[in-house]
Structure 1
Amino acid sequence: MRFDIITLFPEMFSAIKEEGVIARAIKKSIISINEWQLRDFSENKYKNVDDKAYGGGAGMVMQVKPIRDCIKKIKEQEPETKVIYLSPQGDPLNQNLVEKLSSFESLTLLCGRYEGVDERIIKNDVDLEVSIGDYVISGGELAAMVLIDSVSRRLPNVLGNKDSLNDSFVNNLLDYPHYTRPESIDGDIVPEVLLSGNQAKIDAWRLEQAKHKTRQKRPDLLSN
């Protein structure tokens, strides 16, 4: 799977490209991440890609032409890429959307800054707006990293153990409790069923615990 990132801060993505699951996926050639410096598509000597907002306001707005030219360049290489704008106004990034996005071969992630991008980009050039939560961060780069990580985990052979895919939000349930050695800490003992060696009983216990946690902490998931 190919990720193309349109950003003013391409250096930020070294954090996920050089460590952990994403780094291993790149090394295995399962995914690729290509950063595009938006200023390279500016046509003025100062490399500006933003301007004042019509109607006034405190912040600057990212201009149409540099973004559109960058998308055009990416589509010369990946004509079928889906363009996603990371935005607090977008569809929530939940597990269902992650599953959908993981089915595409190419995603182009547009990272906004300042007051965001000119609305004409959203109307004419973006396939989907995606939000990682009901809060505001300084730019789309961190949101893009979250999306890349969550989507990449769903791709075949990215995770070493396929059971790792059975995590929170799969089947609209939170994850079950996990325990490791030692068996007892200050009198707090690992549940006996996990020591039984009976996998059917362990699986049943884990499912019940996942349901209990979901009812207790995220009952909204059970209504979906």
Structure 2
Amino acid sequence: MKIDILTLFPGMFAPVMEESILGRAKENKILDIRLTDIRDYSQDKHKKADDYPFGGGAGMVMMADPVFRALEAVQAEGKRILYMSPRGKTLNQELISDLAEEKEMVILCGHYEGIDERIIEYWNMEEVSVGDYILTGGELPAMILIDAVARMVPEVLGSSKAHHEESIYSGLLEYPQYTKPREYRGIEVPEVLVSGHHKMIHLWQFEKSLELTKERRPDLLTEYIKNTEFLTKDEKKILDKIMRSEDRND
């Protein structure tokens, strides 16, 4: 997958894109992430890329010309172009899975009070938000999007099944995890996890996922129980127990 990132602050990306899973994916040429400094395409002698908004208002707005030129330089026409914006569609797993199918995409990081609307309209940009809050720019949201999408790209995690076992992908929040030592400061790892009984371990993990999802994200649990045909008989018993417990609490 090739990802072009257009930003006023390319230096922000190196600590994230060069390390850990993303760094290895780049090194192994699974991901081709390219940074473009929008200021390089400003025709102003001071590399100015923003100006005061027409009609007044606080802050500055990114100018159309430098962004247009940067988009043309990366040959963005015909590609999926995302603009990280608090007014955009909220990033969720459905959108992440959809983006993971793309071979190429372009991400524009806004800054200041936003960008000239003509950029969005002319380039048919898809506005994407990472939540109902305001950040200083689109760089951090872009990193979140890339990290989430990259995990869905085959070979990035080294296992085609790895991401499906994690929180959200399965439809439930992830169960508690433990590692060595078996006992730490008087706190023991649950006995079932060291029993070697794989079926019992799986059922324990499933039950804990249900409990956590019910407690913290009941909206996910509501969606999950709409399709339970794939569950085993033992899993259905556990789900029934969790739902009965919910009824009693009501």
Q: TM-score range by the shorter chain?
A: over 0.9
Cα pair 2:83 2:127 within 8 Å, conserved: yes
Q: Kindly provide the CA deviation profile for residues 58-78 of structure 1, in whole angstroms up to 9, marking residues without a partner as x.
A: 111111122122112212xx6
Greater relative CO, 1 or 2 (CA 8 Å, sep 6+) = 1
Cα pair 1:61 1:117 within 8 Å, conserved: yes
- Shift in alpha-carbon separation, 1:23–1:84, aligned structure 2, 3 A: same
- What is the root-mean-square deviation of aligned Cα atoms in Å? 1.6
Q: How many Å apart are 1:79 and its aligned residue? A: 5.0
Cα pair 2:150 2:156 within 8 Å, conserved: yes
Rounded Cα–Cα distance in structure 2 between residues aligned with 1:33 and 1:9: 15
Partner of 1:207: 206
| 2:93 alignment partner, one of 71, 95, 101 | 95
Rounded Cα–Cα distance in structure 2 between residues aligned with 1:182 and 1:24: 29
Q: How many Å apart are 1:186 and its aligned residue? A: 3.6
Rounded Cα–Cα distance in structure 2 between residues aligned with 1:63 and 1:17: 27
Q: Which moved more, 1:156-165 or 1:96-105?
A: 156-165
Rounded Cα–Cα distance in structure 1 between residues aligned with 2:211 and 2:166: 15
Structure 2 alignment gaps of length 5 or more: 224-250
Q: Kindly provide the CA deviation profile for residues 133-173 of structure 1, in whole angstroms up to 9, marking residues without a partner as x.
A: 11111111111111111111111111134453121111321
Rounded Cα–Cα distance in structure 2 between residues aligned with 1:106 and 1:124: 19
Cα pair 1:84 1:126 within 8 Å, conserved: no
Rounded Cα–Cα distance in structure 1 between residues aligned with 2:159 and 2:197: 21
Q: TM-score, normalised by structure 1?
A: 0.93
Rounded Cα–Cα distance in structure 2 between residues aligned with 1:213 and 1:163: 22
Give the fraction of aligned pairs with identical amino acids, expressed as a percent: 44
Partner of 2:175: 176
Q: TM-score, normalised by structure 2?
A: 0.84
The DSSP-based 3-state class of the residue aligned with 1:109 is: strand
Structure 1 alignment gaps of length 5 or more: none
Partner of 1:137: 135
Rounded Cα–Cα distance in structure 2 between residues aligned with 1:161 and 1:171: 16
Equivalent residue letter for 1:47: K
Partner of 1:120: 118
The DSSP-based 3-state class of the residue aligned with 1:160 is: coil
Within-5 A mapping of 1:209-224: 209-224=208-223
Q: How many Å apart are 1:17 and its aligned residue? A: 2.5
Equivalent residue letter for 2:219: D
Q: Which moved more, 1:58-67 or 1:182-191?
A: 182-191
* Number of equivalenced pairs: 222
